[in-house]
Structure 1
Amino acid sequence: MKHSMPRRLQYWRTSMTYEQSRTLLVAVVGHTNTGKTSLLRTLLHDVGFGQISSRPATTRDVRAATISSQGKPLLTLFDTPGLEDGVGLYAWLEANRTSGKHHDGPERIQTLLDHPIAQSDYEQESKVLKQLLVSDAAFFVIDARDPVLPKFMDELAILQMCGKPIVPVLNHTAAEGHQAQVWTEKLARIGLHHWVAFDTVSPQEGGETQVYEQLVAVLPAARKAIKTLIAERTMEQAQRRAAAIRWLGELITDVSACQFVVQHRTDDATDAATFELQRKVVAHEQSCLRHILQIYGFRPDDARLSGLSVTSGTWQEDLFDPDTLRDFGVKAGKGIAAGGAAGASIDVMTGGFSLGAGTLIGAAAGGIWQSWQKFGQPLQYKLQGYTPLRVDDGVIEVLAKRQLALIYALQRRGHAALEPISHAELRDHFPMEAFVKLRKKARQHPQWSALPGSEFRDSPLRQQAIDAFGKAVLDSMQTG
C-alpha cells in the first residue's frame, strides 16, 4: 500500500455523496498546533509528510496524500491549516444569518466564503471550510492536554455547519494530566459520540484500526474501503515485523559464526586483528540498525535513543564496553576484562591441559577472545602458532537485545514523534532460549558468517536456523 506525494489543491464548489466507486476524501481539521500533521504522518506511515513544529500555524495551505491499494486510490487525507479565531468567526456567522437559512449550515458557510472577509480576516479558516465542504468526512484533532475552552466549541460548531460527519481524535492521551474524559463528556453534549483516543507520538496497539473504525461508524458507506485499508495495514505491519526480525537473525548468525585467525602470535598482530574484528562487527550492526529503521519508515535521526545513545542511525554506546553489557543485564564473561587494561590475560583450558595465557584486549577493546576450547581446530591452530578470535557471547547478547528492543519500540512509535525514543520505551522481553540456540548453531559453522573477510557460504541449514529463531521471536511477541 502506497500513498502519493503531497500536492497543492485547487478548490471547487460542489456537493458530493460518497460512493464506493471513488476515492474516500477525509479532511484533517482542528485548532492550530493540536497535531493535525502529526496524525497524517502516523496514518500515512510517512515521517516526511508536511512540517511539524511546536510553533503554531506551521501548516498554511491544504496538502493531500492518497493511500492506494493495488494501484487503485482508496483514501485521500487532507492536511489543513489550524483554526485560529473560532470565536470571532462564530460571532460573524451568528451576526450574518440569512432569513430562511438558519438551519442550513452549508449555505451559511458558503455565504461566508463568498464574502470578502473570507480572504482577509478569516483566510486560514476559509481554506479549512472549503476543503471540508468537498470532503466526505473529517477528523477533528484535539490536544487532550488542553482544557475545554469556548473557542474550541465554537470551532466545532462552525465545522458542524458544513454538514459532514466528524470524528474527534483525542491526541496526546499518553501525556500526564490529559483531560480526555472532560473532552468526551463535552463532545457527547453536542452529539459527537464517535470519538477515538489516539496518541500520534506513541499510538496504542490497534490504535490506527480504531481510528478507521470510528470513521466507518459515522460514514457506513465507506465500510468496504476502510475494511480493505485495515486488512492491508495489518498485513504490512506483519511484513515489517518479519523483515526486521529476519535482519536481526542474520546479524546474530553473522557475528556468532565469524572467526578471525591471527597468523602471527604477537601482541601487535593480535591487537590489530582484535580492533579490525570489532570494527567489522560494529559496521555490520549499524547496517542492520539502518535497515530496520528503513523498514519501519523512519529516517536515521528519528531513532535518537536517550537511553542507548542512537544518533544519525548509529549506536553511540560502545558494543564492547563492559558498561554497555551491564546496561542490558549481561555479565561480563571471560571475553570481557571489565576495567582491565590492554594485555590482561586469561587461561583457556582444553581437555584438562592449559594451553597458556591468551592475550586479551581489555575494557577499551574487549569482547573479542582467543578460543582454544570451543571453536574448532584448537590444537591445530595452537601447534601452528595461529590464534582464532571470536566475539564474546555477552557482546552478541547485547547486540541482539538492543536491536530487538528497537524493533519493539518502532512498532508502537508514531511517525509524528519529535522526541528521541527513551530507555523506558524499550521492552524487557527477550527470547533467550531461541537466541542461545541460534548462537550455538552458528558457532559451529564459521562459513555462515557474511562479515567482510569471511569465507561466506549460505546453506539450507543456515536459513532453517534463522527461520526458527524468527518464528520463536514472533511467537514471543504475540504472547508477550
Structure 2
Amino acid sequence: MAKPIALALVGHTNAGKTSLLRTLTRRSDFGEVSNRPGTTRQVEALGLRIDGRDALRFLDTPGLEDAPALLDYLQHLEAGLSRQQRLQAFLGGPAAKDEFEQEAKVLRCLLEVDAALLVIDARESPLPKFASEIEVLMLCARPLMPVLNFVSHPQAQEPAWRRLLAGHGLHAYVRFDAVAPFVGAEQHLYADLGALLPERREALSRVAEYLKNEALSRRAAGLRLLSELLLNLAAFRMQLAKASLANPVQRADSIRAFQSEVAERSRRLMEELLALHGFDPGSAEVADLPALAGRWESDLFNPEALKSAGKRLGAGAAIGGAIGLGLDVALAGLSLGVAASLGAALGGVASQGFGAMGRQLSNKLRGIVELSLENRALLLLAAQHLTLLLALERRGHAALEVLQVKPDLSFTEAQAARLQASLGVARAHPDWAGKAPLAGGEAARRHQQGVALSEVLAEILAGSNLPGTKGKA
C-alpha cells in the first residue's frame, strides 16, 4: 500500500495555514482559526481520506515568528559548517528549545515531509522578514510550493509577492482563497504539486480527480434534496373548514400554521445542504443562518417580493400571493366556484392546480378549503436554495463571517415553465407531501419525478447567470 503523501503547511504567523487546511479537507472543526497571532502552537496532523485510507497527510505547523534573528544566529555558527550542518547544529542546540522554539518545530517537521506549502497572506506587504523566512525554509532542501492566500481581498498585493518569490527562484505558485476558494482551485494545487514531486504525480492526479468527482456528487446530492423539497411543498396542502375563514382569528392562525410548516421544511433542507458540504451545524457561521432563513421566509410570503420575483423568475408580472385557496374547480368551461381572497397574504388563481378535480369538488361540497403554495412561491424557494447551494460550493471552511446569500438567480420563461410542469405533477399527489412511506408504484412515480426535476435544476445551474457556475461542478 502506497504511503500517504506528507505535506507541511508553513509560513508566517497568522498567514492562514489552518484556514487553508480546513478548506482543503472540508473540516471546519480542525484547529483554531482567529485573527489573533500565533494561534497554532504545536504541529497538528490531519489526513485526507480517499477510498477508506489516507491519501494525503497534512501537518499544520506553528507560525514563524523571528526568521531574521534565526538567520543571523545560523550565520554566526562555526564558519566551516555546510548549510545542512548548521541546521542540524541549531536543532540540536539550546536555542531550538528557547528563543527559536517555534522555528525549530517547523524545521523538524519540514525535514520529515515530501513537500511544503508555503502559505502567504497576500494582504500583507512583502517585507524583508518574509524573505528571511523563505531562506530559513530552504535550508531543509524540501520542495516548496508558495500558496498566495486571500488573493480575492481588495488589499491583496499579489504582484509584489510574485516578485519576492521570483527573487528566491520560486516561480511556480498557487492562487487561493481559504475563505471563498475558486472553483477547481484544489485541483490546480495538486496538479502543480505534481510538477514538484514527479514520483508522486500519479497519486496527486488521482487525488485531484477524486475531489472533482466528489464535488460533482455533492452537487447532484444537493439538487436531489432540493427537488424532494419542491415536490413535497407542491403536494403539501392544509385543509380547513370554509366557515372558519369568516373568523379573523381562526383565519390568521391557519395562515400562520401553513407558513410555519413551509418555513420549517425549507429550514430542514438548509441544514441538510450545510451538512452535505461539511459545515458543522454548531459552528459560528451556521448558528447565524436562522436569521437568514427568517429573511427568506419573509420574502416568501411578502406580496411585493413575490411580484418582483415573478418578473425575475419568468412567472410573469401578475401576482396574487404565496398561498392559494382551492375553491375553484373548472370543468368543461363551467365554473363551479369562485376564487377567495384573503387580502395581501392570500390570493392567486385557485384553479392553478391543487390535485384531482374530484377531490376539489368533494371538498367544496363538504365546505372544506385547502391552502396550498403557489407556483411563484415555489420558484422563489427554488431560486433561494440554488443560490445557497452555489454559495456553499464556493465557501471555505475557515470563513468566520455570517453567510450572506442574496437570491440573484434568474430563470428564463422556458425554465420556469419546465419547473412548473414538474411541480404540477406533484400537486395531483397530496400523499407525496406526507412522512409515511409510499406504496411501490407511487414511490416509483415520485422518484422518477424527482429525477426529472433534478435534471431541470442542474440545467438551470449549468446556464446560470451567477459567477463561477458555467461548466463547473
Distance 1:186 1:91 in 2: 20
Tell me which residue corresponds to 2:22: 41
Tell me which residue corresponds to 2:456: 472
Structure 2 CA distance for partners of 1:403 and 1:214, relative to 1, 3 Å? same
**Identity in percent:** 33
Please tell me whether residue 218 in structure 1 is matched to residue 196 in structure 2. yes
The CA deviation string for residues 290-335 of structure 1, in whole angstroms up to 9 with x for no partner, is 00110000123669599xx833784444232335536744667223
The CA deviation string for residues 110-161 of structure 1, in whole angstroms up to 9 with x for no partner, is 2111111111111111111111111111000001111111000000000000
Distance 2:326 2:457 in 1: 35
Distance 2:335 2:426 in 1: 26
Tell me if the contact between 2:14 and 2:37 (Cα under 8 Å) persists in the aligned partners: yes
What amino acid is the match of 2:191?
A: E
Tell me which residue corresponds to 1:398: 380
Q: 1:277 aligns with which of 258, 261, 270?
A: 258
Tell me if the contact between 1:345 and 1:358 (Cα under 8 Å) persists in the aligned partners: yes
Secondary structure, aligned partner of 2:41: coil
Distance 1:177 1:346 in 2: 56
Distance 2:216 2:19 in 1: 23
Tell me if the contact between 2:307 and 2:319 (Cα under 8 Å) persists in the aligned partners: no
Say which structure is richer in helix.
2
Shift of 1:67: 1.6
Structure 2 CA distance for partners of 1:116 and 1:427, relative to 1, 3 Å? farther
Tell me if the contact between 1:368 and 1:389 (Cα under 8 Å) persists in the aligned partners: no
The CA deviation string for residues 249-306 of structure 1, in whole angstroms up to 9 with x for no partner, is 0000000111222235222454443332222211111111100110000123669599
Please tell me whether residue 445 in structure 1 is matched to residue 429 in structure 2. yes
Please tell me whether residue 421 in structure 1 is matched to residue 403 in structure 2. yes
Tell me which residue corresponds to 1:412: 394
Shift of 1:199: 0.8
Q: 2:368 aligns with which of 371, 386, 397?
A: 386
Distance 1:284 1:401 in 2: 16
Distance 1:49 1:368 in 2: 50
Tell me if the contact between 2:42 and 2:61 (Cα under 8 Å) persists in the aligned partners: yes
Distance 1:313 1:304 in 2: 11
Please tell me whether residue 335 in structure 1 is matched to residue 321 in structure 2. yes
Tell me which residue corresponds to 2:11: 30
Tell me if the contact between 1:450 and 1:456 (Cα under 8 Å) persists in the aligned partners: no
Q: CA RMSD in A?
A: 3.0
Distance 1:300 1:325 in 2: 29
Q: 2:131 aligns with which of 153, 164, 168?
A: 153
Structure 2 CA distance for partners of 1:43 and 1:367, relative to 1, 3 Å? farther
Deviates more, 1:204-213 or 1:324-333: 324-333
Please tell me whether residue 144 in structure 1 is matched to residue 136 in structure 2. no
Shift of 1:99: 0.4
Secondary structure, aligned partner of 1:134: coil
Distance 1:438 1:349 in 2: 21
Please tell me whether residue 287 in structure 1 is matched to residue 268 in structure 2. yes
Shift of 1:21: 2.9
What amino acid is the match of 2:433?
A: S
Please tell me whether residue 462 in structure 1 is matched to residue 443 in structure 2. no
Tell me if the contact between 1:194 and 1:217 (Cα under 8 Å) persists in the aligned partners: no
Structure 2 CA distance for partners of 1:67 and 1:304, relative to 1, 3 Å? closer
What are the residue-to-residue correspondences of 1:31-430 with 2, within 5 Å? Answer: 31-101=12-82, 104=83, 106-267=84-245, 268=247, 269-300=250-281, 310-311=289-290, 314-317=293-296, 318=298, 319-322=300-303, 324-325=305-306, 328=309, 329=312, 333-336=319-322, 350=330, 351=333, 353=335, 355-356=337-338, 358-360=340-342, 362-363=343-344, 366=345, 371=350, 374-375=353-354, 376-377=357-358, 378-423=360-405, 428-430=409-411
Tell me if the contact between 1:408 and 1:427 (Cα under 8 Å) persists in the aligned partners: no
Structure 2 CA distance for partners of 1:457 and 1:401, relative to 1, 3 Å? farther
Distance 2:409 2:129 in 1: 44
- TM-score, normalised via structure 2 length: 0.86
Tell me if the contact between 1:438 and 1:469 (Cα under 8 Å) persists in the aligned partners: yes
Unaligned runs of at least 5 residues, structure 1: 1-19, 338-343
The CA deviation string for residues 428-461 of structure 1, in whole angstroms up to 9 with x for no partner, is 2545344222222212222222368999984322
Shift of 1:469: 1.7
What amino acid is the match of 1:31?
A: H
Shift of 1:475: 3.2
Structure 2 CA distance for partners of 1:436 and 1:54, relative to 1, 3 Å? same
Tell me if the contact between 1:194 and 1:218 (Cα under 8 Å) persists in the aligned partners: no
Distance 2:51 2:103 in 1: 35
Distance 2:85 2:294 in 1: 58
Secondary structure, aligned partner of 1:265: helix
Tell me if the contact between 1:370 and 1:390 (Cα under 8 Å) persists in the aligned partners: no
Tell me which residue corresponds to 2:467: none
Structure 2 CA distance for partners of 1:23 and 1:453, relative to 1, 3 Å? closer
Tell me if the contact between 2:340 and 2:347 (Cα under 8 Å) persists in the aligned partners: no
What amino acid is the match of 2:74?
A: L
Structure 2 CA distance for partners of 1:421 and 1:429, relative to 1, 3 Å? farther
What amino acid is the match of 1:155?
A: E
Shift of 1:176: 0.9
Shift of 1:185: 2.1
Structure 2 CA distance for partners of 1:321 and 1:455, relative to 1, 3 Å? farther
Distance 1:99 1:373 in 2: 89
In the alignment of these two chains, the number of paired residues is 446
Unaligned runs of at least 5 residues, structure 2: 464-469
